[in-house]
């Protein structure tokens, strides 16, 4: 059995034209915001796992949590010198090590190990997970709306969605304006249905903008009347209280989608069993990698509960392709000025640009071994702000 002899961790930034984190308003509070002519820096993380018999598994993507890189180093220190096949053992050990924090760094190491596994066996991640789909149905999901001329009014929102619909998209999700005006939100919900037609799959994610349960219910009823597919994360502060969301769920007759901000399978299970949601969210970058995501998916499946995968990434296409139930692949966050929400670090042609949608409203699942993508390592090294190399001799 081969052993892991080295783990490389690279923290790097990528420029985001016309978008910056805006701290000028309490409503926006550091959210990414359309600001014409600006250039923001978005954090990313790459993990590369090397074995003593020459195999390499790797994974790179946006790293939302600033602690992810440091946590990944600690996880790598547990991993080196041990068999790469023992993913479950690493998952068990690293989670205890990270208490009382949530271990976002484990997610990236686990994803790299699954890439390594696929390459070792010559199988794609979908094949390893027993999946069979080679394309996944997708929906376009906007950035939070703005007041800067991109998605500043309901008219601009539906005009953008209509353009996407003409390109082949069949599903559309709105992320609300930061101000949380229930009247504006309800009017926009009705206009989306009126403009996009009765067969369009529509969703609303206010992204936690409503202080009042009453306001959240008001907008939820508008979604209900317009026949939306689900209503997601409307309440401040961050959508983690099961009791609060049970009240919301009891007041509405539309599926509620929660747990994007409730990380890890055990907490998601508690939230669901407490009645706080109809559908579960899972994310291989927040929820302890593929291994943690699978735990949530299998638990939900045993109860007949749907799981929706949060955000784009090649791993998420594999997860959607491998589910027994039907899930929608989310291409978030797009706008008229932000067509491709994923890192521009691939050399294999992988993209989440909204112009890449197929005529049937689907996107292809990478078919190569492991995650099935290749990276521009030269570019990543150029963008690096910090690197770590972990071996049995320590960290350098």
pLDDT at 66 over 80: no
Q: How do residues 311-320 score in pLDDT, each as one tens digit?
A: 999 999 999 9
Question: Which pTM does this prediction carry?
Answer: 0.96
How far CA 8 is from CA of 2, 88, 113, 308, in Å, comes to 18, 21, 13, 31
Indicate if the pLDDT at residue 64 is higher than 90: no
Buried b (16+ CB within 10 A) or exposed e, 183-196: ebbbebbebbbebb
Domains and CATH numbers, the chain: 4-122+372-395 (3.30.390.10), 127-364 (3.20.20.120)
Burial class (CB in 10 A: 0-12, 13-18, 19+), 61: buried
pLDDT in tens, 104-135: 999 999 999 999 999 999 999 999 999 999 99
- For the ranges 56-70, 106-120, 188-202, which has the lowest average pLDDT? 56-70
pLDDT for residue 170 is more than 80 = yes
Q: Where are the beta strands (DSSP E) in the chain?
A: 4-22, 31-51, 56-62, 135-144, 171-175, 201-205, 230-232, 256-258, 279-282, 307-309, 329-334, 362-364, 384-391, 394-395
The per-residue pLDDT for 344 is: 96
Tell the burial category of 376 from Cβ atoms under 10 Å away from its Cβ (0-12, 13-18, 19+): middle
CA dihedral 6, 91, 70, 281 (to 10 degrees): 130
Confidence of residue 269 (pLDDT cuts 50, 70, 90): very high
Place of tokens 């009823």: 221
Instruction: Give the number of C-alpha atoms closer than 13 A to the C-alpha of residue 199, restricted to the C-beta side.
Output: 4
Band (346; pLDDT cuts 50, 70, 90): very high
pLDDT digits (tens, 9 = 90+) for 367-377: 999 999 999 99
CB of 257 closer than 8 Å to CB of 268: no
Distance CA 78, CA 113 (A): 13
Over the stretch 133-148, which tens digit does the pLDDT of each residue have?
A: 999 999 999 999 999 9
């Amino acid at each position: 059995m081969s052993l892991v002899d080295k783990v490389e961790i690279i923290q790097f930034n990528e420029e985001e034209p016309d978008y910056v984190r805006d701290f000028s308003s309490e409503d926006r509070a550091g959210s990414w915001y359309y600001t014409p002519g600006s250039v923001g820096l978005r954090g990313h993380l790459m993990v590369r796992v090397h074995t003593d018999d020459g195999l390499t598994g790797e994974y790179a993507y946006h790293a939302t949590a600033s602690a992810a890189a440091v946590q990944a180093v600690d996880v790598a220190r547990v991993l080196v010198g041990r068999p790469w096949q023992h993913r479950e053992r690493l998952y068990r050990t690293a989670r205890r090590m990270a208490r009382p924090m949530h271990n976002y760094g484990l997610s990236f190491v686990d994803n790299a190990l699954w890439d390594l596994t696929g390459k070792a066996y010559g199988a794609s991640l979908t094949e390893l997970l027993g999946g069979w789909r080679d394309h996944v149905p997708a929906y376009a999901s906007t950035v939070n709306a703005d007041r800067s001329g991109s998605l500043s009014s309901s008219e601009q929102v539906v005009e953008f969605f209509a353009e996407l619909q003409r390109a082949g998209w069949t599903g559309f999700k709105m992320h609300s304006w930061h101000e949380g005006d229930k009247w504006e939100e309800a009017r926009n919900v009705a206009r989306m249905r009126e403009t996009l037609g009765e067969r369009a799959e529509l969703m609303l994610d206010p992204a936690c903008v409503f202080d009042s349960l009453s306001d959240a219910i008001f907008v939820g009823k508008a979604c209900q009347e317009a026949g939306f597919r689900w209503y997601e994360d409307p309440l401040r502060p961050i959508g983690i209280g099961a009791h609060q969301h049970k009240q919301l769920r009891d007041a509405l007759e539309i599926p509620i989608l929660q747990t994007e901000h409730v990380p890890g399978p055990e907490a998601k299970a508690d939230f669901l069993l407490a009645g706080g949601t109809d559908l579960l969210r899972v994310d291989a970058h927040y929820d302890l990698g593929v291994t943690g995501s699978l735990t949530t998916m299998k638990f939900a499946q045993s109860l007949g509960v749907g799981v929706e995968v949060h955000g784009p990434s090649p791993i998420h296409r594999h997860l959607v392709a491998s589910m027994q139930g039907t899930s929608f692949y989310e291409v978030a966050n797009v706008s008229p000025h932000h067509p491709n929400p994923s890192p521009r670090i691939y050399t294999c042609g992988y993209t989440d640009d909204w112009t890449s949608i197929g005529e049937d409203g689907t996107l292809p699942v990478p078919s190569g071994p492991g995650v099935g993508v290749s990276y521009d390592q030269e570019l990543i090294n150029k963008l690096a702000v910090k690197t770590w190399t972990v071996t049995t001799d320590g960290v350098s």
